[in-house]
Amino acid sequence: MRILDKYISKIFLGTFFYCLVLFIFLYIIIDMFGHLDEILKYGVPILVLQEYYLSMVPFIILHTAPMASLISTISVINTMNRYDEITAMRAAGINIYRIFFPFICIGILISLSVFALSEKVLPLNMKNVTYIKENYFDKGASGQTKEKGDKIVNNITLYGKNDTIIFIESYNLSTHTARGITLLKQDKNGMVTQKLNAREAKWTGSTWESLNTIIYKLDETGAIKGAPLFFEQKNIDIESPDELISKGVNYEVMNFKDLWRYIKNFSNASPEIINRLRVEAHQKIAIPFASLVIIILGSSIAIRVKPRGKATTLLGIGLTIIIGFIYYATMAIFIAFGKRGIIPPLIAVQAVNVVFLSIGLLLIKN
């Protein structure tokens, strides 16, 4: 590594990690004050709070890494402009692409690291966050009586096998008991043909045994067809508890592989649901690599302006706000269009990164 690479990397990474720590600290403080009533009301232990916020760190990094990258990029470029270092490099015959090389390498490294974090660490951590929140912060919300030591997972929803949409109000990991079960059976056209309601079901190790089960047959309009069937006890064929928990707890924090498999199981669902899920899947890649796009775009713009004195700091703040606002506003608009089916999901999510990356590379070239 040359002296130039070490110099730029040292300033960049120092600022980057400082920003990440600051963002994590601010997020935790704001979130803690937001949950202060629940923390005091339910007497959440300090160790549980520590585990909760440590589990939140990957989520915070995922969403703040692009802004930290942008701030670091502007900071490095402004520092170099302030002391005419870029002018000196160009006068010494250093190519403009060579000056940008460390920024691109750092951007790729950050993006790959954040992507690995989101794929390997984030899903497990967010399940832990959901569990702690439901069992300590919101444990009085479900209205379910909970014995000491019980572990409850609330609001499980997924598209299961045999074209069945599954809703479960709560599942007790200690007793292997699910409560408030609703199953909607669909045909190949996505129409609901059967509805099953069960007050409770227990996992026996190989199947679910439900109690007080009612089955309704539905016609094409969704109206009940014929007399409902009542069973005091019935075996129901749905996923095992491990599959329900891994697939049915907040698809937004699944990794890309699991979410894409989930979409395939959802193949007979409505186009609106499929669009939303595909947009979420493409975001799993787009968000981590936003750091690389932001770094290239921010550096290509900042290097063209050479203010002096106090104007350097003010310009850095201004550029950070403007570039960040334009990028995130454009991304939000395209994602909204993608979820509504106006734009194909792949284009809705990836086009923003492609366009902004192209703008950055063109500015470097010219």
pLDDT tier at 239 (50, 70, 90 boundaries)?
confident
Confidence of residue 148 (pLDDT cuts 50, 70, 90): very low
E strand map for 225-330: 229-236
Residue 186 dihedral angles phi and psi, to the nearest 5°:
-110, 155
CB under 8 Å to 251, separation ≥6 — which residues? 158, 259, 262, 277, 280
Per CATH, domain 152-249 is 2.40.160: no
H or E segment to which residue 239 belongs: none
Per-residue pLDDT tens digits for 254-280: 788 877 876 776 555 556 767 888 888
- What is the residue extent of each domain of the chain? 152-249
pLDDT of residue 153: 74
Q: What is the pLDDT of residue 66?
A: 94
The pLDDT of residue 40 is above 70: yes
Residue 316 has pLDDT above 70, yes or no: no
295: tokens are 């770094």
Using CB atoms within 10 A of its CB, is residue 29 exposed (0-12), middle (13-18) or buried (19+)? Answer: exposed
> What kind and span of H or E run contains 38?
helix 36-42
Backbone angles phi, psi at 219, to 5 degrees: -90, -170
Angle between helices 256-265 and 241-248 (to 10 degrees): 110
Place of tokens 């498999």: 261
| Strand 229-236 with 192-203, pairing | unpaired
- Between 303 and 297, the more confident residue is 297
| pLDDT score recorded for residue 252 | 64
pLDDT band at 165, cuts 50/70/90?
Answer: confident
Q: Is this model's pTM higher than 0.85 or not?
A: no
Q: Which amino acid is at 34?
A: G
In the predicted model, is pLDDT for residue 356 greater than 90? yes
Looking at per-residue pLDDT, the higher value among 161 and 143 belongs to 161
Phi, psi for residue 120 in degrees, rounded to 5: -100, -35
pLDDT tens by residue, 114-147: 999 998 898 888 878 877 887 787 654 444 444 4
